Chain A
Amino acid sequence: MGLAKRIIPCLDVTDGRVVKGINFLELRDAGDPVEVAKRYDEQGADELTFLDITASSDNRGLILHIIEQVASQVFIPLTVGGGVREVEDVRRLLNAGADKVSINTTAVLNPQMVADAASRFGSQCIVVAIDAKKVDNQPYQWEVFTHGGRKATGLDAVEWAKKMVALGAGELLITSMDRDGTKIGFNNPLNRAISDAVAVPIIASGGVGNLQHLVDGVKVGGADAVLAASIFHYGEYTVKQAKQYMAQHGIEVRL
């Protein structure tokens, strides 16, 4: 027996509350972040990811307060992303109790920031989030998008992944913008292409609708960890049920 595949519930946080919605539309309140985090911890979540989707800069500091509270009550790894623009943002989040910080748009605008953050805090706490979409009539299959999938970058997602690892990313969070919110499963060919191209762990994200999708994400897509939001938030499945299902299908998990 060896390393377990990880299940990571993702909490979208805005103005101090967990929210849920499809493609950021019709956001509904889903509870207090500390309470939701504790619930997932009790169900056996291997890590938690917080995505700060606060639109106004006024309330940005709230996420630090939330992470401080969660980190004093929940003793599993915490990743925080959303609005991370400079090395100083990384430092603030780590000091608040985050174990890893996820960098998305800034990595595209300023790749050197990834290198700076990794050399200052270590690769182990730098996650680069890649939002990718299938494209036609290009020399590559998947393109990197930023700003929640609205802006094309002209970057080949697989080559971009390799570059981010070379700059110091210790883990990659791959979100398929085609699949996000669809509930038809991860984009496994995309994940497999990136997983085979890099040495670091990858987290698959976007499209989970049932537990078989988690199994396929690991077995077909080569993911080291699977991230999901709605199947857990809406109470369709608990993290524990998801792990039991994965174990029954021959995947090593922490039960």
Chain B
Amino acid sequence: MVVALLEVKDLTVRFGDDEAVRGVSFSLDSGVRTGLIGESGCGKSLTALAILGLAPTTATVTGSVRFEGEELIGRPERELCRLRGNRLTVVFQEPMSALNPLMKVGRQIAEVLEVHDKAGRGEARRRAIDLIEMVRLPDPSRTAHKYPHQLSGGQRQRIVLAMALAGDPALLIADEPTTALDVTVQADILLLLDDLVRDLDTSLLLISHDLSLVASLCEELLVMYGGTIVERGRVSEVFARPLHPYTAGLHSASSLEHSDGTDDLRTIEGSVPPIGQFPGGCVFRNRCEYADEVCLGVPPLRVPPGEPHEVACHHPVSHD
């Protein structure tokens, strides 16, 4: 039996009585790039943090997260630390806060290798320079001696990427890795990410609010809303035939390039409610134009007849 690289089952994150992530289940296979999309407040970042064992201390995390066959939930922090930054790594939105401002960037990369006993001091320094070259920064040995503030935002994010890839991870979680960057810099970073993930045979979980980013980089797609996964399938299929009204709304709201600005963009009414104020039953029913009394019941995530992918909706959008 093939074991999935990452298997998440019934992952729930609670703050007091409020569920921010409600029983999320999915699995990621080796070498596959998966996009996790949703608007702010849908629980996508919290899901990532819970997987990494980095959820805020005020949160209660239950369910199961199995990474390479090992259960992570309930593991002592010390063991999680050995895993994080090694086989399982993460890149966040803001590169400046991910780097120590008082330490040269080469040293910071080398430290990752030393902490995980990948290399001794001298060896680590050489490998750090190799890694800087791998993320295509100019003049690696000189760049290694720079401090974070001496680099541009895009260059800093490359350093963060080098640190994340130093341990030869099986899974890289990238949470809005390019949101703080300019468009042309973002394009360069995505290009780099695309090449590296392929070359290193790393699985990617890309978390983003931007559907077009996921369309550009990923194969599989998870759509989150209200702390649940509302649709799952191949990126090309989901975007060609979005079945959940939420996905469909996000999709048309994102498709600026297909509109000449004379008609209104089709979008979703209202806005994402605060955590704990989503409706019972289907979490989307208060913003959904198809909602009726059936939607008072929670819809299961399943493949509707004649469709290629899963959706959690009582009234999937028809594309006929």
Partners in one complex: no
Residue positions of B touching A, CB distance < 8 A: none
Which residues on A are within 8 Å of B, measured CB to CB? Answer: none
